[in-house]
Chains A and B, each alone.
Chain A
Amino acid sequence: MENLVVIIPMHEFGKENIELLNKAVDSVPSDVNVVLSVKKGVDGRKLKGISDRLGVISESDGDSFAELVNAAVDKIEEKWFSILEFDDTYTNIWYNNAKKYVEFMPDTSVFMFLEDITDFNSGKYVDFGNQAAWASSFSNELGYIDNECLQNYFDFYLTGSIFNTVDWRTIGGLKPQIKVTFWYEWLLRATNKGKKVFVIPKVGYNHSLGRKDSLTEVYKREVDNDETQWLFDLAKREYFFDPSVERDPSKFEYKKKEE
């Protein structure tokens, strides 16, 4: 597949993480370029031992996941890109299926994949990811995620997906002000703009959950159920606004309910 690049956002370093990163890079087919997105001015010594295949994009002002992704997408020139978390891997059928579906459905903006979700620590299988798009009880059109069905279901993973770069730029990038639900907000915004989001019914991505310092685990420790609910409501309120629209920062601040 011509014009595909894989972006790996990274804000955690250290020997173990570099090993995970290199494992992730190894899962990318050899004819696909891979770039690493890190914060501007990151100490080069932190990147010691990274795979030779990695081109480094270090333009982000911040090191949140959203900022790292946005900065990289701004810079790439390829028609399609995918985001790979450094502690995850693509399956060996990801690339072939990406090529096949992009060829048959060129007007689709986002190709998500079914994901195998495993526990990082035990390696045990936990569940599928993104399968709801193929459930007749969820989807208006099997395989597709639209704005209406997102109002009732939000548990989707977009890492591993193939994004059309032009459409991404039309939709606008991730909003760093929104924590936890930034992907959900992005999906709502994309579908609200009428972009086609399709889940390829093939397991293309191995998603590991439960690594101690991963974003999800940090959120799990820091964000309680009430705040999580508030964050989902926030995403539903904010997706009508493009990221370029200046918003009052206080709108993104969660105020804990008084006991």
Chain B
Amino acid sequence: MSEKDTKILENIQKEISRIDKKENKIYFFVLDTKGVPSGSLEYIYNLALILKNEGYDVTMLHTEEEFVGVGAWLGEEYTSLPHFNVNSEEIGTSPSDVLFIPEIFSQVMNQTKNLPCKRIAILQNYDYVVEQMPYAAQWGDFSIMEAITNSDYQAAELNESFPYVKIKKIRPSISKIFGNTNAPKKMVVNVICKDQSDIKKIVKPFYWKYPFFKWVSFKELRNLSKEEFAKELRENALTIVVDDTASFMYSALEAMKSGSITMVKVPNTTLDWANGEELPNCCVWFNDYDTLHKQIASVVRSWITDKIPTVLEEETKKVTEEMTEDNTKADILNYVGEVLAKRKKEMEELALQIKSKKEEE
């Protein structure tokens, strides 16, 4: 056997051993939202934390000189994940490593295409793929052949464009921090809007059109920690969620699970949990602000007279019962386990090939 082959075999063995001992790296590329809570980012951090807690060597990668991170809103345990600025120093990757790249980082997909590690895209919003990919390229050009997603609908959309990409759904979860209690709720309307100007469109005309309800207080839920956010959802009777570009509407699901009557603007994208012929009755849907004002008046009146239909609660249960932390944990651990087992098998086969080549010689 040549010295080169011996060296290769040694390296393969080393990589297999790293996988066996969980010494290989699992990288997640993340966007710094500068302290602004994001359901999509939370999904990624949750996956990372699950893997770290199961003994994997996880590192979060970013490109920010002054990285703010998620600690303030997601909680301190997430800051315990190691973070690394790839602009300050180059990271070395090896074949046993895995790099997860969110769909928004098409440039990173391109720049990392020659790395030896396994690269997997994270798909949560197909619109970002459309926005970020260059006209003349597709994921295959960047050797992205595999992805995980939180949504069957997003997967189907991507597969229409890139049918060769193998996609695995990792069911998202709603944190246990969100839940209902028997304590009576306050007559306060939470408002969660991506665009702050939408709040004025909701509140002012509502007061103008329905002066009888001028006493109804609205509360904007912005820049709150996860605990504070969960507390407001749990305590207040109604929550309005507006995010036209949301791909999953985590906030709406969290509000529903907290027992807050949730009014959701139908987004431009199809939600995985609301993709049937009819929208589910777990929340009150609206298409525009004109109808919303009337709906708020109607829902407030129903709530203060205890006439909210029980179907909302029943449907919420149906929609959210699958979204447990246990399911997410099982999905990601199985998936990463399979990826690494396959990786190991590929390496073992390569080693066999080298060895058999030697025997033939």
Contact = CB atoms under 8 A, between A and B. Distances in A.
A203 B305 contact: yes
Interface stretch (A11-19, A24-32, A134-142, A215-223): A134-142
A134 B187 contact: yes
Nearest to A113: B304
Contacts of A23: none
A131 B215 CA distance: 6
Contacts of B306: 93, 96-97, 202
Contact of A143 (B182, B183, B186, B212): B186
Contact of A202 (B183, B188, B305): B305
B305 A100 contact: no
Contacts of A132: 215
Nearest to B185: A201
A93 B307 CA distance: 10
B216 interface: yes
B289 to A, nearest CB: 21
B235 to A, nearest CB: 10
B212 A127 contact: yes
Contact of A104 (B183, B217, B304): B183
A114 interface: yes
A128 B212 contact: yes
Nearest to A139: B217
B276 interface: no
A155 B337 CA distance: 67
Nearest to A128: B212
A90 to B, nearest CB: 13
A42 to B, nearest CB: 37
A218 to B, nearest CB: 28
A114 B184 contact: no
A201 B302 CA distance: 12
Interface string A82-103: 0000000001010011001100
Given A100-B184, A104-B184, A143-B186, A136 B304 contact: no
B214 interface: yes
A135 B186 contact: no
Given A93-B306, A104-B183, A202-B304, A142 B215 contact: no
Contacts of B217: 134-136, 142
A144 to B, nearest CB: 11
Interface string B168-194: 000000000000001110111000000
A201 B183 contact: no
Contact of A135 (B212, B214, B237, B304): B214
Interface in A172-230: 200-203
A97 B306 CA distance: 9
Nearest to A116: B305
Nearest to B217: A136
A138 B182 CA distance: 27
Interface in B291-309: 304-306
Contacts of B212: 127-128
B184 A203 contact: no
A86 to B, nearest CB: 23
B238 to A, nearest CB: 11
Nearest to B188: A142
A250 B96 CA distance: 95
Contacts of A128: 212, 215
Contacts of A131: 215
Interface string B196-225: 000000000000000010111100000000
Nearest to A125: B212
A116 to B, nearest CB: 9
Interface in A111-162: 114, 127-128, 131-132, 134-136, 138, 142-143
Contacts of B237: 201
B66 to A, nearest CB: 36
A134 B183 contact: no
Given A104-B184, A135-B214, A201 B304 contact: yes
Nearest to A105: B184
Given A93-B305, A114-B304, A134 B215 contact: yes
Contacts of B188: 134, 142
A135 B215 contact: yes
Contacts of A100: 184
Contacts of B215: 128, 131-132, 134-135, 138
A33 B187 CA distance: 30
Nearest to A132: B215
Interface in B52-106: none
A137 to B, nearest CB: 9
Contacts of A104: 182-184
29 contacts: A93-B306, A96-B306, A97-B184, A97-B306, A101-B184, A104-B182, A104-B183, A104-B184, A114-B304, A127-B212, A128-B212, A128-B215, A131-B215, A132-B215, A134-B216, A135-B215, A135-B216, A138-B215, A142-B186, A142-B187, A142-B217, A143-B186, A200-B184, A201-B186, A201-B187, A201-B304, A202-B304, A202-B306, A203-B305
Interface of B: 182-184, 186-188, 212, 214-217, 237, 304-306
Given A100-B184, A127-B212, A203-B305, 14 more contacts: A104-B182, A104-B183, A104-B184, A114-B304, A132-B215, A134-B215, A134-B216, A136-B217, A142-B187, A143-B186, A200-B184, A201-B237, A202-B305, A203-B304
The 4 A-B pairs of least Cβ separation, nearest first, read A201-B187, A135-B215, A131-B215, A136-B217
